Amino acid sequence: MKTSNANFSIKKAICITVVCCSLSIISCKKETQVKADVNAPVNEAVLASAVTEPAYTIRTIAGVFEQTSSSPHLLNGNGPAAKFWKPHGLSVAGDGNIYIADFLNSAIRKITIQNKVYTVSLPYNPQTGGGLLPEAVATANDGTLYIVSTAYGIRIVNNAKGINIYSRIGNSDSNLDIEKDTKGTMWFVNDNSLGKINGINIQRNFVNFYDKLDINETLRGIGIGPNNVKYVSTATKLFKVDGKGEIIRLFPAYKFTFISGITVTKDGQTIYIADGNAIKMIKQDVITTIAKPLPSGDGRDGIGLNADVVAANLALSNSEKALFISDTRNVIRKMILP
């Protein structure tokens, strides 16, 4: 994608919102809310065959919708009956299973292609007293889990291979996002740098952002593009890191609200971000809001701006025909992409 945005446009259209430099607003039509079967599996076959669902259709696939969590906070089972507690980062494995960092449950959850929710078994860590507070999780092709967390550093776990690695620097080692590139390298962000993991070898401070950040500003999100390109964010800034490690700020004039998640298509042409709990699409230097929180706050499914979404983080399906979203109201959503 282009890295310059001297003149980017935002306009409002049916089921998407784009805002122009002049901030003029064009009225848009309302779409009829679409109800979908929340029990349907989430595998690639379903995504490919979902020809009756219009682009940007959003439906809840797992979790019990709650503004706050009630006891019990963690339940496994069929998608709509399962319970999460403030799910954060999520990723899609090569087999189509979705892994979720279930933050306040201090657990890693898995949604299978049959839409069954399980809790991943992790070895007890005496160094943290069992604490985890996972922010994000990524999976290697061999099933190894890479978990980054608030205060508890980095964990690498593969029960079948006997791998149980814990890396923590100090008492407040926070790493807020992680994502795998096409070569299997894991890239993660901590407060002010980009790090990487090859296998079980952790390299911190691989790309340093010290001179790009304001006082008390920290890195929050990462998305992987093609050609060794990474997209990294603070709460209000978006950067591109090219293959040589050069850092370029994108959209410096645009006022992001609070970026909490990034995912990028394999060709790098489209970036999706969770910003201010809305879902925004960046394509050809145009920033488009495709879903956002509604005043109703009822978690309704629907098409685009007719759905009520409070996005924490997001991940593309392997086919890139869908976007999976962690919603702060303790549910996981799926958006059909064009």
pLDDT digits (tens, 9 = 90+) for 150-197: 888 999 999 999 999 999 987 678 899 999 999 999 999 999 999 999
In a 10 Å sphere around its CB, with 0-12 CB exposed, 13-18 middle and 19+ buried, how is residue 170 labelled? exposed
pLDDT at 69: 87
Low-confidence ranges of the chain (pLDDT < 50): 1-50
pLDDT at 42: 45
Query: What is the rounded CA–CA span in Å between residue 32 and residue 302?
Result: 8
Radius of gyration of the chain from its Cα atoms, rounded to whole angstroms? 19
pLDDT at 125: 82
- Provide the H-helix boundaries in the chain: 44-49
pLDDT at 16: 38
pLDDT at 3: 38
Can you give the pTM of this predicted structure?
0.84
From first CA to last CA, the distance across the chain in angstroms is 19
